[in-house]
Structure 1
Amino acid sequence: MKSPYKSLFLFLMVSSTCMVLSSSNWLMTWMGLEINMLGFIPLMYLKETTSESETVAKYLVPQSLGSTIFIVAATTSLYLDGLQTLMPIAMCLKLGAAPFHFWFPPVMASLSMLPAFFLLTWQKIAPIFAISSFNPTLSTKILPIAGISALWGSIGGLNQTEIRSLLAYSSIAHTGWMLASINSPNPTLMIYVSTYILINLSIYTCLTKHSSKLHKQVFSAKEPFDSFLLALSILSLGGLPPLTGFLMKFLVLYYTETSVLIVSMLILGALISLLFYLSLTFSPLLSLNKAHTTKLKMASKPSIMFLISQIFPMSLMFFFL
Structure 2
Amino acid sequence: MKSPSKLLFTLLMVTSTCMVASSSNWLMMWMGLEINMLGYIPLMFMKENTSESEAAVKYLVPQSLGSTVFIASAIVSTYFNSLQILTLIALCLKLGIAPFHFWFPPVMASLQLLPAFILLTWQKIAPILAISSFSLLLVKTLMPIAMISALWGGIGGLNQTDIRSLLTYSSIGHTGWMLASINSNHMVLIAYLTTYILINTSIYTFLIKEYTKSYKQLFSSKEPMKFFVLAISILSLGGLPPLVGFVMKLLVLMFTEAKMMIIFGLIAGALISLFYYLSLTFSTLLSFNKMHLTKTFMTSKQAALFLLSQILPLTLILFSF
* Residue 93 (1) aligns with residue 68 (2): no
SS in 1 for 2:182: coil
**1:239-292 CA-partner distances (Å, limit 9, x unpaired):** 001111011101100000010000000000010000000000011111212331
After TM superposition, what 4+ stretches of structure 1 lie above 3 angstroms from structure 2? 309-320
Deviation at 1:29, TM superposition (A): 0.2
TM norm structure 2: 0.96
Partner of 2:16: 16
How large is the Cα RMSD of the aligned pairs?
A: 1.8
Contact 2:221 2:227 in 1 (8 A): yes
Distance 1:21 1:318, change over 3 A: closer
Residue matched to 2:66: 66
**Structure 2 residue 186 is the aligned partner of structure 1 residue 202:** no
Q: For the residues of structure 2 that align with 1:222 and 1:161, how far apart are their CA atoms?
A: 20
CA distance in 2, matches of 1:11, 1:216: 37
Matched, 1:102 2:102: yes
1:52-201 aligned within 5 A = 52-201=52-201
* Aligned sequence identity (%): 66
Q: How has the CA–CA distance of structure 1 residues 117 and 318 changed in structure 2, closer, same or farther, with 3 Å as cutoff?
A: closer
Counterpart amino acid of residue 254 in structure 1: M
CA distance in 1, matches of 2:317, 2:100: 38
Establish whether residue 223 from structure 1 lines up as the match of residue 223 from structure 2.
yes
Structure 1 length as normaliser, TM-score?
0.96
Tell me if structure 2 keeps the 8 A contact 1:173–1:269: yes
The answer on whether the counterparts of 2:191 and 2:317 sit within 8 Å (CA) in structure 1 is no
Q: Are 1:301 and 2:290 an aligned pair?
A: no
Matches of 2:300 and 2:145, distance apart in 1: 40
Q: Aligned letter for 1:36?
A: N
Work out whether residues 229 and 303 of structure 1, in 8 Å CA contact, stay in contact via their aligned partners in 2.
no
Deviations 1:138-185 (A, max 9, x none): 111111100000001100000111111111100000000000011211
**Counterpart amino acid of residue 289 in structure 1:** N
Contact 2:182 2:189 (8 Å CA) reproduced: yes
Q: Separation in 2 of the partners of 1:66 and 1:307? A: 35
The code of the aligned residue for 2:217 comes to Q
Cα offset, 1:112, TM superposition: 0.6
Question: 2:37 aligns to what?
Answer: 37
1:47 offset after TM fit, Å?
0.7
Aligned position for 2:213: 213
- Greater shift, 216-225 or 183-192, is seen at 216-225
1:286 to 1:89, Cα distance in 2 relative to 1, 3 A: same
In the aligned structure 2, how far is the partner of 1:12 from the partner of 1:313? 27
Q: Distance in 2 between matches of 1:17 and 1:275?
A: 34
**Structure 2 Cα separation of the partners of residues 61 and 310 of structure 1:** 34
- Give the aligned partner of residue 235 of structure 1: 235
Partner-residue secondary structure (3-state), 2:183: coil
**Shift of residue 305 of structure 1?**
2.2
**Alpha-carbon contact 1:232-1:310 (below 8 Å) kept:** no
Consecutive unaligned residues of structure 2, counting only runs of 5 or more, are none
Aligned residue pair count:
319
